[in-house]
């Protein structure tokens, strides 16, 4: 690991401690886990991990390039963008799909979005199978953090229904956001395994 990448990853580690978010997951935790199928399997009891004090969390948060609340807003936008990116219908026009994404994206990302929206091969395949996809983001985590950007990994569960039935897939996306005023805009989206950090 280079010293630059070590410095870039340090704020993300600090964020995890500052937010005490259990593996830096940025989705709200549910009060109870769903029961195992058949009710025959039980999970081992969770062990308590030490939580930072409010003073320690505040000191750690002061070292971050953005306040924790602003990073939460970035993660929230990454989740909304990913869900919109992975949701589509064979009846939906490319312009309608783009309209859902453009308000969340930088101007520099718009040509790539337009190219993805207008892929004739993909559109023909979806129309032939009468496919509709609905994506739900199931996990968010900060992967990289610099003074000029934050990269959030988003795991999306996608349900695709069509003339041949229903299928379910899961995909990981790396969403890089840049600050704009007091908010954020998506600068890039790639498969999580492709890097994007």
| Mean of pLDDT values over 112-125 | 93
Rg for the chain, CA atoms, rounded? 19
| Mean of pLDDT values over 126-154 | 95
**Residue 136 domain-assigned?**
yes
The pLDDT of residue 51 is 63
**Residue 20 domain-assigned?**
no
**Residue 42 domain-assigned?**
no
Q: How many CB atoms lie within 10 A of CB 19?
A: 20
DSSP state of 25: B
The pLDDT of residue 58 is 59
Q: How many domains does the chain have?
A: 1
Q: Which residue has the higher pLDDT, 98 or 8?
A: 98
**Residue 102 domain-assigned?**
yes
Each residue of 26-76: pLDDT tens digit?
444 333 333 333 444 444 455 555 665 666 555 666 677 888 999 999 999
**Residue 167 domain-assigned?**
yes
CATH number at residue 139: 3.10.450.230
**Residue 172 domain-assigned?**
yes
The pLDDT of residue 24 is 42
DSSP string, 98-121: HHHHGGGB-GGGHHHHHHHHT-HH
Positive/negative CA dihedral, 68, 70, 71, 75: positive
Distance of alpha carbon 19 from alpha carbon 63, whole angstroms: 13
Look over the chain and give the mean of its residue pLDDT values, rounded to a whole number.
79
Rounded (10°) angle between helices 3-19 and 54-62: 150
- Domain hosting residue 136, numbered range: 67-194
The pLDDT of residue 194 is 79
Q: List the Cα angle 25/167/76 in 5-degree steps.
A: 25
pLDDT of 146 > 60? The answer is yes
The pLDDT of residue 65 is 80
Each residue of 152-188: pLDDT tens digit?
999 999 999 999 999 999 999 999 999 999 899 999 9
Distance of alpha carbon 62 from alpha carbon 72, whole angstroms: 15
Phi, psi angles (nearest 5°) of residue 91: -90, -15
The pLDDT of residue 44 is 45
The pLDDT of residue 53 is 63
**Residue 40 domain-assigned?**
no
**Residue 86 domain-assigned?**
yes
């Amino acid at each position: 690991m280079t010293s630059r990448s070590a410095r870039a990853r340090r704020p993300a580690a600090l964020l995890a401690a500052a937010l005490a978010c259990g593996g830096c997951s940025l989705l709200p935790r549910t009060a109870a886990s769903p029961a195992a199928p058949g009710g025959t399997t039980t999970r081992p009891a969770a062990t308590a991990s030490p939580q930072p004090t409010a003073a320690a969390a505040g000191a750690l948060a002061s070292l971050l390039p953005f306040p924790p609340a602003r990073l939460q807003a970035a993660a929230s936008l990454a989740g909304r963008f990913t869900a919109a990116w992975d949701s589509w219908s064979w009846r939906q026009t490319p312009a309608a799909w783009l309209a859902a994404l453009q308000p969340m994206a930088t101007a520099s990302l718009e040509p790539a979005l337009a190219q993805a929206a207008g892929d004739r091969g993909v559109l023909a395949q979806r129309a032939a199978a009468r496919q509709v996809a609905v994506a739900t983001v199931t996990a968010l985590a900060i992967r990289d953090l610099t003074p000029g950007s934050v990269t959030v990994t988003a795991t999306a569960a996608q349900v695709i229904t069509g003339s041949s039935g229903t299928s379910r897939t899961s995909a990981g996306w790396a969403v890089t956001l840049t600050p704009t005023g007091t908010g954020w805009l998506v600068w890039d989206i790639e498969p999580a395994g492709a890097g994007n950090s």
